[in-house]
Amino acid sequence: MSSSMWYIMQSIQSKYSLSERLIRTIAAIRSFPHDNVEDLIRGGADVNCTHGTLKPLHCACMVSDADCVELLLEKGAEVMFLTLSHQ
């Protein structure tokens, strides 16, 4: 990894909490498939954190990632949560 890429990654990691990084990683899973959602959860990211009006489970459903949905459910993601638009 180049030093500039390392700096960018360090900046991102220090700027966002694990839970915020979890949602961002899921939302960008197609762009960055090598980012590991399971590692973030294992590191302490909250599978029920709210970012704006969304939770990680909403993001995984929006990007149609069945594996990520399954993982989040296994780790205790809340199923009966509605967004502000009642979805």
pLDDT tens digits, residue range 29-86?
666 554 588 888 999 999 999 888 888 998 899 888 899 999 999 999 998 876 556 5
Question: Is 79 in contact with 57 (CB distance < 8 Å)?
Answer: yes
Residue ranges per structural domain of the chain:
18-87
Whether residue 1 is predicted with pLDDT greater than 90 in this model: the reply is: no
CA distance 59 to 30: 12
Whether residue 5 is predicted with pLDDT greater than 70 in this model: the reply is: no
pLDDT of residue 70: 93
CA distance 78 to 73: 7
CA distance 1 to 55: 31
Q: Provide, rounded to the nearest whole percent, the portion of the chain with pLDDT above 90.
A: 22
For residue 72 the two structure tokens come to 């989040």
pLDDT of residue 20: 81
**Class in CATH terms, 18-87:** mainly alpha
CA distance 67 to 19: 19
CA distance 36 to 84: 28
